[in-house]
Amino acid sequence: MRDAELVKVFNRRALIVAGGELFLFSILAGRLYQLQILESDKYKKLSERNSVRIKLITPPRGIIKDRFNVEMAINVNSYGIQMIPEEVTARGLSVEEILNRISQLIPLTDKEKEKVLNNIKKKRAFFPVFIKNNLGWEEMAKLQVKNLDFTGVYVEEGKRRFYPYNEVAAHVIGYVSDVSEQELKKDPDPVLQLPDFKTGKAGVEKLMDKQLRGSAGETMQIVNSVGRVIETLDDKRKKTTPGQNIVLTIDKRLQEYALNRIKEESASAIIMDIYNGDILMMISVPTYNPNIFLSEDKSAEEFNKLLNNPRHPFINKAIEGLYAPGSTFKMMTALAALHEGKIKTSTKINCTGHMDYGDGRYHCWKTSGHGLLDLEQSLQHSCDIFYYTIATKLPMDSIQEMAYKFGFGDYTGIELANEKKGQVPSVDWKRNYKSENWYTGDTITASIGQGYTLVTPIQLAVMTSRIANGGFAVKPRILKGEFENVFFPQMNIDANYLNIIKKGMFSVVNKPNGTGKTASFNYNGKQMAGKTGTTQVRRISREERLTGVIKQDDLPWKYRNHALFVGYAPYKNPRYAISVVVEHGKSGSGTAAPIARDLMMKTLELYS
C-alpha cells in the first residue's frame, strides 16, 4: 500500500533535512572562513612560534659546610664540548675532521667518536650534539685558545659536585652519584629525570638529599615550526629553587688532624661536645675519596680496590661498627651497683687474680692480682675481679637499665644513615634470642663489657658525655642546629656516684700506675679523664692460659684485640668527650689511649 500522503510528507521533510544539512555545511564553511581567512595571520604567527617546549633547569645543590663555614662539598664548573653539525658543514669541513682535530687536544676514544657520529645521524643538523662531558678547566682552556680552528664547536658550562678536602670527612658528608632505577621508581621528583642529575648516596648527602637537592625550575623554549630553538625564557614558568646549604657541627681542622693521626689503622674516633651534642670530629679509617664517584670513568680500578679492602673503607665505623665495649663498660656496672645499693662508694674488694664461681674460674687481666681495691682504684687499674664480685650480687636487668640510660642499645639519633643499634643483653633477651637461661656467669662476663654486649663508638662517646656533663641525657648531632645550646633532661643519677666514677676515670689517666696513663697530658693545666678497654676477638682456651697466653704481636692482625678508649677533658669544667676504637689495635692503653691524647690535646689547643 503506497500511501500518497505519506510520500508527500516524506518528500517535503527530506527536503527540509537536506536544507538543514546545507545550513550546517554553511556553518562549517563560515567557521573555515573565520579561522583560515579572517584570523589566519594570528594563527600563522602562532604556528611559526609554535610551540613551547618545557625544559627543566637543574637547581644548584646545597653547599655543605663545617662549623666554621668552611665549604666541604661544593659545586664546581664542569665543561662539555658540543658540536652543531650544520655549522661545521657550512664551513666546508667534515664532522669527522673536526672530531680528529679535537682529539689532538683532548683524547677521544674510537667508541666516543662513533657515539658522536651516531647521534649526529639521529638528529637534525642544527641540534647540538655532545662530544664529551665533565671536562676540567685546563682541558677547556686548551680548546679555547685554539677556538678559531673549531667552527661549530661550543663549550657548555655546567655544575658538578666536588669535595675540596677529598677524604677528610668522607663518611660524614657522603657522596653523590647517578640516580638509580629504584630512586626513579620511588621518587616522583621530575628533576631526577635530568640526564646528568646526581643524588646523595651516603652520609649527610644521602640523609639530607631532599633539602640539598632544591627544586627544578622550568624554562620555556620557543621552537619554530622547523624545531629550531628561537628563544629561551628563563624561569618563566617555574622558578628554580636552589638546594639548602647545610652547616655541620664538624671542624675541618680536627678532621684533617685526626685523619693524619690514625690513617694507618682500621679505626674510628669521635669528639663530641658534652653539653649540646655537637660532633666536632668524626672519622673512620680507612676512608675513601668521594670524588672518585664523580669522575667520568669512575676509576673502576680504584673503586674495586676500595670495595675489596678487608678493612671496609665504605663503612662508617663510628656509627656502623659494633664492638664489645670491654672495660669501658665498667662504669655502667659500677653505677648500676651503686644505684641498686649493692656497693657503697667506699666498698673495698680483694683481688687475688682470679675468682671461682660455680663451676668456673674467672680471671683478672692481672693474673697476680691487685690486692684490696676500692671503686676508684678498681677503675684506675681496670681490675676485673672487683666487677666479677659485684656481678654475683647484681641482677643483669639493672645493668641493662643503666646502660640504656646512658644511650646503649638504641640509636643515638645522629643524623646519619645506617647507624647501628647495638645490644645490651638481659635475662629476657637471652631467653628470646638464644632460648637459653641467663646464668650469673653471663652477668660476670657482661660486667666487664664482654659477652653479648655490642656498642658503637658513637654510643661510647654519648655515654662518656653523659657521665662528664653530670647526668644530662645529651644526644649527638651532626647538623648544626639553630641554637648553640640545647636543653637535655637530667637522668637523675646521684651526683656522688657520678663523681666517684669521674675520679676513677681521672686516676686511670693521671695516676702513675693507671691503665690509661699513655693518654695523660697537661695542657695549660687541663687534663683528661678516661677509661681504656681491650676486648678479645677470640677466646682464650684453658690450655693456652696454662701454657701462657700468646703475645698479641705474634697473632695475625685479624685475631688481635680491639683497642678502645673513652675520655673527656678538661677534667675540671669538662667540655669535650672522646671515643677511640682501633680495630685489632692490641690494647687500649697501648694504641687507643695515645691517639685519644693527641686528638684531645689538639681540640683543647683549637678551642681555648
Partner 1 sequence: MLDYSVSMKKSSRMNIFSKFFVMNWKLVFLLLLLSSVGIMILYSAGKADCNEETNCLISYGSWSPWAISQMPKIVMGFMILFITALFDLKIWVKYAYWIYGIGVISLILVTFFGHVGMGAQRWLNLGFIRFQPSEFMKIALVLALAKYFAALSINEIRNNYYLLFPAFLVLLPVGLVLDQPDLGTAMMLLIVSGIIFFIAGVQWWKFAIIFGIVLLSFPIIWKYGLHDYQKDRIIIFLNPEKDIMGTGYHITQSKISLGSGGFWGKGYLEGTQSHLNFLPEKQTDFIFTMFAEEFGMFGCLMLFLLIMAILWQCYKVAFASRNNFGKLLSLGLGVNFFIYFFINTAMVMGLLPVVGVPSPLLSYGGTAMITIFLGFGLIECCYVHSDMLISSKSDYL
Please give the residue ranges that form the binding site for partner 1 (CB under 8 A): 1-7, 9-11, 13-14, 16-18, 21, 24-25, 27-29, 31-33, 35-37, 39-40, 42-44, 46-48, 50-52, 122-124, 223, 225-227
Least Cβ distance, residue 70 to partner 1 (angstroms): 44
Q: Supply the DSSP symbol for 262.
A: H
Q: Supply the DSSP symbol for 479.
A: B
C-alpha cell at 521: 697530658
Least Cβ distance, residue 2 to partner 1 (angstroms): 7
Cα separation, 219 vs 124, in Å, equals 22
Is the CB of residue 176 less than 8 Å from the CB of residue 63?
no
Residue 9 vs 233, nearer CB to partner 1:
9
Is the CB of residue 516 less than 8 Å from the CB of residue 531?
yes
Q: 677528610: which residue's cell?
A: 168
Residue 53 vs 361, nearer CB to partner 1:
53
Is the CB of residue 133 less than 8 Å from the CB of residue 157?
no
Closest CA to 537 of 323, 312, 320: 323
- The amino acid present at 475, given as its one-letter code, is K
Least Cβ distance, residue 6 to partner 1 (angstroms): 5
Cα separation, 289 vs 251, in Å, equals 18
Residue 192 vs 229, nearer CB to partner 1:
229
Residue 36 vs 309, nearer CB to partner 1:
36
Least Cβ distance, residue 43 to partner 1 (angstroms): 3
Least Cβ distance, residue 259 to partner 1 (angstroms): 47
CA geometry: angle 423, 502, 352, nearest 5 deg: 75
Is the CB of residue 129 less than 8 Å from the CB of residue 153?
no
Is the CB of residue 35 less than 8 Å from the CB of residue 28?
no
Is the CB of residue 470 less than 8 Å from the CB of residue 497?
no
Residue 1 vs 148, nearer CB to partner 1:
1
Is the CB of residue 280 less than 8 Å from the CB of residue 254?
yes
Least Cβ distance, residue 23 to partner 1 (angstroms): 11
Q: Which SS3 state, helix, strand or coil, does residue 572 take? A: coil
Residue 82 vs 245, nearer CB to partner 1:
82
Is the CB of residue 183 less than 8 Å from the CB of residue 197?
no
Least Cβ distance, residue 4 to partner 1 (angstroms): 7
Is the CB of residue 189 less than 8 Å from the CB of residue 181?
no
Least Cβ distance, residue 41 to partner 1 (angstroms): 9
Residue 225 vs 304, nearer CB to partner 1:
225
Rounded to whole angstroms, what are the CA distances from 49 to 223, 227, 237, 332? Answer: 6, 10, 17, 76
Least Cβ distance, residue 175 to partner 1 (angstroms): 32
Is the CB of residue 585 less than 8 Å from the CB of residue 562?
yes
Residue 43 vs 68, nearer CB to partner 1:
43
Least Cβ distance, residue 110 to partner 1 (angstroms): 23
Beta strands across the sheet bearing 229-238: 52-57, 217-223, 229-238
Q: Which residues lie closer than 8 Å to 397 by C-beta, 6 or more apart?
A: 426, 427
Closest CA to 258 of 291, 289, 287: 287
Least Cβ distance, residue 11 to partner 1 (angstroms): 7
Cα separation, 56 vs 216, in Å, equals 6
Residue 11 vs 541, nearer CB to partner 1:
11
Residue 3 vs 264, nearer CB to partner 1:
3
Q: Supply the DSSP symbol for 589.
A: I
Residue 217 vs 409, nearer CB to partner 1:
217
Least Cβ distance, residue 237 to partner 1 (angstroms): 10
Residue 228 vs 298, nearer CB to partner 1:
228
